[in-house]
Chain A
Amino acid sequence: QSALTQPPSASGSPGQSVTISCTGTSSDVGNYNYVSWYQQHPGKAPKLMIYEVNKRPSGVPDRFSGSKSGNTASLTVSGLQDEDGADYYCSSYAGSKILLFGGGTKLTVL
């Protein structure tokens, strides 16, 4: 059982928007604005997509956005493209536990 809870799957058609949730507690997601999101294609290393809840590293399309409310963070992918199909993981700084990951969400582009 992962420390942060994500839905195991999500899907959408090309051009649509999809939102993936990441639920933690007041000791991690709810207490720090240090939520990140990673994209992982099969057989590849994870790629940083979002940091500090809603900031994008250089090179990440602005179709990817992040937000947070209380103990739940969210990743929204707008204008879905075929290459967005991948596993997505959230993570949160957690004080003395340092860092927790979510269990991952498999995004399917229909």
Chain B
Amino acid sequence: EVQLVESGGGLVKPGGSLRLSCASSGLAFSNAWMIWVRQPPGKGLEWVGRIKSNSGGGTTDRAEPVKGRFTLSRDDSKNTFYLEMNSLKTEDTAIYYCTTGYSDSSGGYHGDDAFDVWGQGTMVTVSS
């Protein structure tokens, strides 16, 4: 069974930093594109960013609100994916989910448009 487990959330002051981790098991991690999605309390989902597999170039892309502040990285030797968050703002308060692209039955891979395995989420609260 594929599992993703996030950790590293907590309470941080505005302007502070935090690093989230997403550990995977049962997943061909080195081939997977990994994604962060966040959800503010009581609100909808927001795509935060994605890192491609190293064989896919390892390219990262981030949503406009987090560009220049958040960095995505991966350590394939540890099957772990990271989100480094700096200059945090109150509007970054959310549950942060890690997820992975969906491999369909026809051999297609949906790294940027469909995500089938999700972690349980980790809460990040930015408040003074």
A residues contacting B by CB (< 8 A) are 2, 32, 34, 36, 38, 40, 45-48, 51-52, 55, 57-58, 89, 91-93, 97-104
Tell whether, in the assembled complex, residue B45 and residue A98 are in contact, meaning their CB atoms are under 8 Å apart.
no
A104-B45 in contact (CB<8A): yes
Of residues 70 through 128 on chain B, the ones whose CB sits less than 8 Å from some CB of chain A are 97, 99, 102, 104-105, 110, 112-116, 118-121
Q: Establish whether residues A99 and B116, one from each chain, have CB atoms under 8 Å apart when the complex forms.
A: no
How far, in angstroms, from A34 to B104 measured CA to CA in the complex?
13
Q: Is the CB of A99 within 8 A of B44?
A: no
Cα-based distance from A22 to B52 in the complex (angstroms): 27
Q: Which residue of B lies closest to A103 (CB)?
A: B44
Residues on B lying within 8 angstroms of A by beta carbon are 37, 44-47, 50, 61, 63-64, 97, 99, 102, 104-105, 110, 112-116, 118-121
Inter-chain CA distance A36–B114, complex, in Å, is 6
User: Is there contact, CB below 8 Å, between B114 and A102?
Assistant: no
Give Cα A100–Cα B113 distance, bound, in whole angstroms: 9
Whole-angstrom CA separation of A89 from B110 in the bound complex: 17
